[in-house]
Structure 1
Amino acid sequence: MTGGPSRGARGGRAWREGHAAEWIAALWLMLKGYRILGFRLKSRAGEIDILARRGRVLAVVEVKRRKTMQAALAALTPHQTARLVAAAQQVVRGRKALQALEIRLDLVALAPGRFPRHRRGVGA
């Protein structure tokens, strides 16, 4: 035995920290004028952390929290990008009101002691 937290305890903490990071990201986006349309939207292609709208832009937002800002900004892989685009297309297909909007993939990066960073159009 290592004496550290069990795998289940670590997983629960990661889940809570992930949800907290999504709420921080949503608040940051709202301060920038975005309207939050949904959290953790599931589709066959994957899950969208945050769906937000500002004007004619429908932002599909991936939230990454890491120990450093640099690690958070680099955490979105090409595979995840493709999955998020496919998930966005499926969500939009099912919601007529969203079909005329421009879909954009954004990233909100978080790290302890740092302000969030919002990168627009990360998959373009």
Structure 2
Amino acid sequence: MSGERRRTAERHGRRGEWLAGLYLWITGWRVVGRRVKTRKGEIDLVARRGRTVCFVEVKWRRTQAELATAIDERRLRRVADAAEMISSRYAKPGDDQRIDVILIAPRSWPRRIVNAWQPGAF
């Protein structure tokens, strides 16, 4: 990927994360972490609502059709591994934890996949 394409993709990704954060806020969630880095990967957003902590993977694509292939098991495993590393930082004893995916494309409502991955290690 060329330098300019990489910068454009980064800009779109950040905008997608901002929109996903706004979507979460509108639906009653509070974003408590953004772009949380671990040695296993990065969590785009960490959100909380009541006793539920949600680790969110955000995918932005140019078209709705491209969103169909934006997330796969390998990517979700990376998010799950990273979430496992930081869960104690965000979750209290007794909290529910999950991994969601928010898919975003221009001129369409965000699509949220709830419990996209349920790691047994949580």
Give the TM bin, normalised by the shorter chain. Answer: 0.7 to 0.9
Show the counterpart of 2:114. 120
1 CA distance for matches of 2:99 and 2:67? 16
Over the aligned positions, Cα root-mean-square deviation in angstroms equals 1.6
Q: For 1:35, give the aligned amino acid.
A: R
* TM-score scaled by length of structure 1: 0.86
1:105 aligns with 2:95: no
Residue 91 of structure 2 contacts residue 97 of structure 2 at CA under 8 Å; is this kept in 1?
no
In our comparison, the structure showing a higher alpha carbon Rg is 1
- Structure 1 residue ranges (4+ consecutive) displaced by more than 3 angstroms after TM superposition: none
Q: TM-score, normalised by structure 2?
A: 0.87
Q: Which runs of 5+ in 2 are unaligned?
A: none
Which whole-Å CA distance do the structure 2 matches of 1:82 and 1:26 have between them?
22
Shift of 1:116: 0.8
How many residues get paired?
117
- Seen in structure 2, the aligned counterparts of structure 1 residues 60 and 14 have a Cα distance that, compared at 3 Å, is same
Shift of 1:70: 4.2
- What is the CA–CA distance in structure 1 between the aligned matches of 2:69 and 2:51, rounded to whole Å? 27
Amino acid at match of 1:98: A
Q: Which runs of 5+ in 1 are unaligned?
A: 1-5
Post-superposition Cα deviations, 1:12-68, rounded to whole Å, max 9, x if no partner, equal 111111101100000000000000011110011110000001111111101011133
Paired residue for 2:18?
Answer: 23
